[in-house]
Amino acid sequence: MLSIVLLAPLARVAPRRLAWFFLVACGVLVAALPANAQEAPTLAAGLVDQVRSMALDKAAAPPAARVEIVVGQLDPRLHLAPCERIEPYLPTNVRLWGKSRIGLRCAQGRTAWNVYLPIVVKVWGRALVVPAGAAAGSVLADGDLDEAEVDLAEEFTPVFFERKLVAGRTLAQALRPGQAVRQAHLKSRQWFAAGETVKVVAVGDGFALEGVGQALTHGIEGQPAKVRTENGRVVTGVPAGERRMELTL
């Protein structure tokens, strides 16, 4: 029979300490386990190699780039049934760029299951960077720029390779030292205003046609614009320079 000796009146013992005392005395509290003590399901080395090989093969990287695949871990809350053969696959509409995932399914086992394994696809290539960093609102000069190897897949927006496309542009956000300059980091330029006369260039396979028209909308870089041509037809294109809009045929 369990006997408990109280060294102080109950009224003087704090409720939390009293609860702790009874748990220990009754043998209920054995050890304090950390919240993350549950371990993630372990993947066989051969399966990890398959995942890495598939990601390297399917990654949409430039020809000269160096691709690195970092394989993550499954959710530790998963309890997967034993499986004799696990197949990795590329899920629909998944882009292997930056933080991504690979599907794993049990192809031979008593219980069918399907899970997703997180991976990180790093694509190393040379691009323009700002070695010293720069504050938001700064106008980048040619001397602020240098070329270095960066992870092109760190963000989804494109990087720049040509100095002439960056020099003279205003930063929309601050850049840390050595960070690659990306399209989203720069303020969009307005190439023409609504009402202005605009050169319209239609580009096709091996040819280009030019005409003029009146802009119906502002020509903001990266956004579609509308122009009414001389014959009254309204066309939509991409602002591509000072009072210039391009159409792709």
Q: In this structure, what CATH number is given to the domain that contains residue 137? A: 3.90.1210.10
Return d(Cα 206, Cα 200) in angstroms, integer.
Answer: 17
Same-domain pairing of 62 and 74: yes
> Is 221:188 a contact under the CB 8 Å cutoff?
yes
Q: Is there a single domain that holds both residue 175 and residue 213?
A: no
The rounded distance, in Å, linking the Cα atoms of 200 and 240 is 10
Residue 213 has a CB neighbour count (10 Å cut-off) of: 22
Residue 62 within any structural domain of the chain: yes
Residues 178 and 144 in one domain: yes
What distance in Å separates the CA atoms of residue 56 and residue 249, rounded to the nearest whole number? 34
With respect to residue 14, please indicate whether it lies within any of the assigned structural domains. Answer: no
Residue type, 107: A
Q: Which helix (H) or strand (E) holds 16?
A: helix 15-25
Co-location of 157 and 146 in the same domain = yes
Statement to judge: residues 239 and 202 lie in one domain: yes
Ramachandran region of residue 156, left (φ > 0), alpha (ψ -120 to 50) or beta? alpha
Q: Do both 163 and 201 map to the same domain?
A: no
For Cα atoms 157, 163, 167, give the angle at the middle one, nearest 5 degrees: 90
Segments in the chain below pLDDT 50: 1-11, 13, 15, 18-37
What is the pTM (predicted TM-score) of this model? 0.66
- Domain assignment present for residue 103? The answer is yes
Tell me, what's the pLDDT at 14? Answer: 52
Q: Are 63 and 50 in contact (CB under 8 A)?
A: no
- The rounded Cα 35 to chain-centroid distance in angstroms is 29
Count of structural domains, the chain: 3
Of 169, 186, 249, which is closest to residue 222 (Cα–Cα)? 186
Please indicate, yes or no, whether residues 52 and 109 belong to a single structural domain of this protein. yes
Say whether both 197 and 216 belong to one domain.
Answer: yes
pLDDT for 29 equals 33
CA distance 121 to 59: 8
Q: Which domain holds residue 223?
A: 190-248
The terminus-to-terminus CA distance of the chain in angstroms comes to: 91
Same structural domain for residues 109 and 161?
A: no
Chain centroid offset of residue 91 CA: 17
Inside any domain, residue 30: no
Q: CB within 8 A of 100, min separation 6: which ones? A: 55, 94, 118, 119, 120, 121
Does residue 55 fall inside a structural domain? yes
pLDDT at 43: 87
How far is residue 30's CA from residue 24's CA, in Å, rounded to a whole number? Answer: 8
